[in-house]
Amino acid sequence: MIEILLLSAGVGGTAAALWYAAPAGRGLHRYVVPRARLRADIVRLEHEADELTCAVLRLSTENTAIGKDRDAAHEALADTRLRNVELGKQLAAFDRLCSENTQLRADLANARAVRPLPADDAPTVPQGLPALPLHEAPFAQPPTAD
């Protein structure tokens, strides 16, 4: 009799373990979510998916606009670099002209400079003729009164 009792307890324990742990069983381990709650969750998740889709589209549009602005800024930067190089060339040409102008002014000032000739370089008798002041020259005539 004890054997039957122990055998039935073992069979009952095995049946209880299968009932609670087996995936195909219908025991307390399976929590059944009401269908209304599942439908509400589906509606809520679809609404969230729609909002996220709209957000992605909005951000994609903003990204496109920002990309266009970036491309315009890159083009402006390239144009500015070209103008900068051109202005550098013009500035170098202007510097050359300024230095040439300064040199020409110095040459002109040296050419117009009035300075006494050294005594050994200044001939007193050019080409063998005596040099006299005008009032002592033989062809000088006294001024006439008019």
Q: Rounded to the nearest 10 degrees, how much is the dihedral formed by the CA atoms of 124, 128, 129, 131?
A: 0
Residue 89 has a pLDDT of: 96
Q: Rounded to the nearest 10 degrees, how much is the dihedral formed by the CA atoms of 11, 14, 16, 21?
A: -160
The pLDDT averaged over each successive group of 10 residues in the chain (146 residues) is 68 67 55 82 94 94 95 96 96 96 92 72 58 66 62
Residue 136 has a pLDDT of: 72
The residues, any chain, with a CB within 8 Å of residue 140's CB and separated by 6 or more, are 134
Residue 35 has a pLDDT of: 85
Question: Is 27 within 8 Å of 20 (Cβ atoms)?
Answer: yes
Question: Is 125 within 8 Å of 131 (Cβ atoms)?
Answer: yes
Residue 82 has a pLDDT of: 96
| pTM check: above 0.75 | no
Radius of gyration of the chain (CA): 57
Question: Is 11 within 8 Å of 2 (Cβ atoms)?
Answer: no
Distance between CA 95 and CA 91 in Å, rounded? 6
Residue 77 has a pLDDT of: 96
Residue 81 has a pLDDT of: 96
SS3 of residue 16 by DSSP:
helix
